[in-house]
Amino acid sequence: MNKSAAGKPVNKPGKNRRKSRELALKGIYEVLIGKNELRAVRRSLVDDPDFDRADEEYLRTLLEGVTEHMQTLDLRIAAFIDRGIGELSPIEHAILCISAYELIYDPSIPYRVAINEGVELAKLYGGTDGHKYVNGVLDKLAAEARPSEVRR
């Protein structure tokens, strides 16, 4: 917990992007496995216990952006994976799409943050050592998508 100058605990703001990414992962996963269309996914996420802690605007941006650009994201990711997109687990696929969306379409997110957030999601929700795979793919994508930022 952070402390103020007076040494008292300071709570972090209730809305955060990490929770937005977690909820986006759940939503994109549902879309990928064909369980729901985006409108239904958004409605179901409102009932998630973490919804009130998430940055709702950023969640919407991720859900809409990833689904809108899914074909392009898949093409960009496919260049750096060792199997077909369809052979990825739906969780890894969703994580890679969310992080790839941030790397390609949201330059306000530092590339290291986009990669780290993807790795953290993979640690929480992915298979054993899935985070290593996600890290490797995102490192390569970042070098291509943001070459001047990665070289610094």
Per-residue pLDDT tens digits for 22-46: 999 999 999 999 877 888 898 899 9
Residues 41 and 39: their CA atoms lie apart, in Å, by: 5
Residues 142 and 35: their CA atoms lie apart, in Å, by: 30
- In Å, how far from its chain's centre is CA 22? 7
Looking at residue 4, what is its pLDDT? Answer: 42
Looking at residue 152, what is its pLDDT? Answer: 66
Q: Residue 112's CB: how many other CB atoms inside 10 A? A: 11
Q: What is the pLDDT of residues 75-131, one digit of tens each?
A: 999 999 999 999 999 999 999 999 999 999 999 999 999 999 999 999 999 989 999
Please give the structure tokens belonging to residue 126: 């992915």
